[in-house]
Amino acid sequence: MARNQFGGTASDVAEDVNGARVPGAMGTVWDGPDDMAFQITDLTDLNGLALGQLVADEQGMVPAFYGPDGVEVLWVDFGGGRVAITPVDVGIRLKAHVEDTASDPHRDRAYADETFLRLDDAGWVAQPNNQATAKGITVPPGWGEFWRPKREAAKAGAATASVAVLGGSAAVGFYASDLWAKSWPGALATDLQTDNGDGGSGFVSALFSASGIAGNDASAINQWTASGNLVAQTGTWAIGGYEYGPGWGYVYASAPGASLTFTVRGTTVDLFTLSGPTASSWTYSIDGAAAVSITDTVTSGPTVRRGTISGLSAGTHTVKLTHTGTAGKYLSVLGVSGSNLSGVVVNNFGRKNAVSRDYTTPGRLGWNGGPSYPADLILYALSPDDVTNGVSVDDWAATVRQQLVNVRDGGTATGATDVVFVLPHIGREDNRDFRYQDFVDRTYALANSFEAAVVNFWNLGRNSWNYWNSLGYWGNPAAPGTAGTDSVLLSDAGHSYMAGVLSALLKS
């Protein structure tokens, strides 16, 4: 603590027993008025030079001096008995404290900052994309107790802080121009990694491929394929029927020569495949190097295989997996991940049209932020498909609870994972049954149970499709990235807005 200033005022005089001023008098300084007090010699002048004791000036006045660190009252004696003397800089120190220009000795501001999330600290007054975001966000006291220390350790280069994104088509990136850089999970990853270190590209699902996306999105698939956004494939691949492993699932090929090529970033690469009764031999090659042969062990039932290649150079790598077995034997690929030893990594486990139960089937429950592929932070984005497919809100809530309990308490987990519920803008997707408000209500109840934060983009969007349409936030399936009139999926601007709001919270 700092020394306080005493003396030097019109009321600070050296007096004898009769009350007369005594010019040049020698005074002593004490820590109390009684006989048990100790004499104080730790005194300095205004230049910081030691005094030892006080000497009155030629007018009999007590000169200005500094007492010991943190002392608020002293007793001086010039022959007339001990007289209390108090600091003269109290008003200055109070003004500095109120105006936040001084230190925080009794930690009242520190306590407030640690206990309550301030909007200016969270960046919400910065208004991402020039839209106010001070509403629609609920953050309970103490939220971030696991995420923030890991994020700071990642920033210091001492650990990897992992984020798991769960959700449907918008989490995949529909209809952004670039599924990796322009989707809200991708833009969020870039922002977090810029501030806290690059933990790698994270998990890339094999379903982020033309065969894995499939459906009625030919224009989007063509654009994403041309720009290198999708996992490149040769030969015939199909979506597998087993429900296992990270992400929503896998694609498989049964003909020799079929291949998938992933682009990932990191010094370590993990390969996720699914073996079974008809597992095939296959190879992997990194950056065009000689292929490494793998013969999967045939298993009686589906088994997730994770192979790790470490010691790679920093940066981006191409990883090619090729079927080399006999026809009719299956190479089943879940995905490939890239990671570094420190920084933030965002694993996108989203899948087009995914619903909540897709994450809780027995073969998947341990993954996607669970003990088989854990995370420090879960971003659980409600999928509009749960709402529009007629799933009851009770069933939905029970399924979400099952997923999050497994994240918090599955295997050897001890609950050290923070949760953010992301409520997307439902747009016009709810117009048939108008049930979305029931899912919103249950989300807040789940958030209370799991001490989770909630970011309600439906609320932030004024519950109005027209409002976000006026901002160009809705997507265009014919020209991904541009503004369109999709009922619920986003343009680049819409994804950017979501990423901006979530980033402000996660960097707070």
Residue appearing with tokens 């049954």: 433
Q: How far apart are CA 377 and CA 145, in angstroms?
A: 10
pLDDT of 215 reads 82
Residue appearing with tokens 């016009």: 428
Residue appearing with tokens 């206990």: 115
The answer to whether the beta carbons of residues 340 and 200 sit under 8 Å apart is yes
Say whether 73 sits in a helix, a strand or coil. Answer: coil
Return the percentage of the chain with pLDDT > 90, whole number.
75
pLDDT of 123 reads 41
Give φ, ψ of 121 to 5 degrees.
-65, -40
Ranges 10-24, 86-100, 400-414: which has the least confidence: 86-100
pLDDT of 103 reads 57
pTM over 0.85? The answer is no
Q: What is the CA radius of gyration of the chain?
A: 33
pLDDT of 101 reads 54
Work out whether strand 74-77 and strand 83-85 pair parallel, antiparallel, or are unpaired.
antiparallel
The answer to whether the beta carbons of residues 347 and 203 sit under 8 Å apart is yes
CATH fold for the domain made of 119-198+344-508: Rossmann fold (3.40.50)
Opening angle at CA 54, ends 49 and 60, nearest 5: 125
The answer to whether the beta carbons of residues 122 and 508 sit under 8 Å apart is yes
The token pair at 6 is 């005493």
Say whether 239 sits in a helix, a strand or coil. Answer: strand
Q: How far apart are CA 180 and CA 122, in angstroms?
A: 25
Out of 66-70, 284-288, 325-329, give the one with best mean pLDDT.
284-288
Q: How far apart are CA 189 and CA 200, in angstroms?
A: 10
pLDDT in tens, 103-150: 555 555 554 454 444 444 444 443 444 443 457 899 988 899 999 999
User: Which residue did the predictor score with more confidence, 108 or 201?
Assistant: 201
Output DSSP code: residue 74: E
| Secondary element (H or E) of residue 444 | helix 436-450
pLDDT in tens, 233-274: 999 999 999 999 999 899 999 999 999 999 999 999 999 999
For 156-217, where are the alpha helices, taking DSSP H only? 169-172, 184-196, 210-213
The CATH H-level (homologous superfamily) assignment of domain 200-341 is: Galactose-binding domain-like (2.60.120.260)
The answer to whether the beta carbons of residues 16 and 78 sit under 8 Å apart is yes
Q: Where are the domains of the chain?
A: 1-103, 119-198+344-508, 200-341
With 70 as the cut, is the pLDDT of residue 100 above it? no
87 HSE (CA, 13 A, CB side): 17
The answer to whether the beta carbons of residues 123 and 504 sit under 8 Å apart is yes
